[in-house]
Amino acid sequence: MNEPAEELDATPQLVIVARLAEFCQFRSASLQESDPWDFMLRKLREIEEPLGALKTSLFNSNRKRLLAEAGAGALGAERCAEYRGLFEGLVSPGDFVDIAFHLAPGAPNQAEALAAALAQARPATLFDKERTEPGQRSPSWEKLVGELHRRLDLDLLGRIMVRKPATAPRRAMVLRRLRSNVAEYCTVVRIPMTPQDTFTPFMLPRIEALVAACLRFLKRYR
């Protein structure tokens, strides 16, 4: 299911990677930037536009492929499950419920019902999710962000921030550790760096959760 239905524009992905790289590579000696906290928040927020473009492209590509397959005949259980996994990461929880309802083997009028549901759906990014009230976010999203929160040791960094007065050296130390933890995670998951490689369905939600966890931390202790 990793193969695209058509060639996707790699530019948004490369911009996302560039912003993450800049997030991890801030140097306090920079002549252009005096506040690393603001710099890092800004780099995360600059991911919103390219991420929206990327998810729109992925949504359109997978919608086209799904409708073609559904129109050619009934989808099997495995294929339905694969598409549910794909679209859960691409649309809002409400839109996903409508799509998933018709992604079941033997669903009546499946091709027509899916076409109607997908016509109403819109791509959603982490920024859309994070702008909603915490109680309105899906449990699966909160679980994934929680996993990244733990993976980045954000509880430890939060305790360091509140244990003593947040002096400039203490804040700088926390941000250095955060950048190091994010860089290490990006290396472990092997984020692609070339147009020939694309974010996989496994990887993209984790990149979004990574950004969300960092945004929550930086805004909390700003």
Residue 151 lies in a domain: yes
Quick one: pLDDT at residue 192? 73
Residue 108 lies in a domain: no
Residue 98 lies in a domain: no
Residue 115 lies in a domain: no
How far apart (Å, rounded) are the C-alpha atoms in residues 49 and 65? Answer: 25
Residue 130 lies in a domain: yes
Domain that holds residue 29: 11-71+124-220
Q: Say whether pTM exceeds 0.75.
A: yes
State the pLDDT confidence band at 3, using cuts at 50, 70 and 90.
Answer: very low
Residue 67 lies in a domain: yes
136: tokens are: 């309105």
How far apart (Å, rounded) are the C-alpha atoms in residues 111 and 3? Answer: 21
Mean predicted confidence (pLDDT) in 191-200:
73
Quick one: pLDDT at residue 4? 42
Residue 128 lies in a domain: yes
Number of domains in the chain: 1
The predicted-structure confidence for 45-93, as pLDDT tens digits, reads as follows 999 999 999 999 999 999 999 999 999 987 899 999 999 999 999 999 9
The predicted-structure confidence for 101-155, as pLDDT tens digits, reads as follows 999 888 889 999 999 999 999 999 999 999 999 888 889 999 999 999 999 999 9
Asked if 216 and 152 count as a contact pair (C-beta separation under 8 A), the reply is no
pLDDT at 35 over 90: no
Residue 6 lies in a domain: no
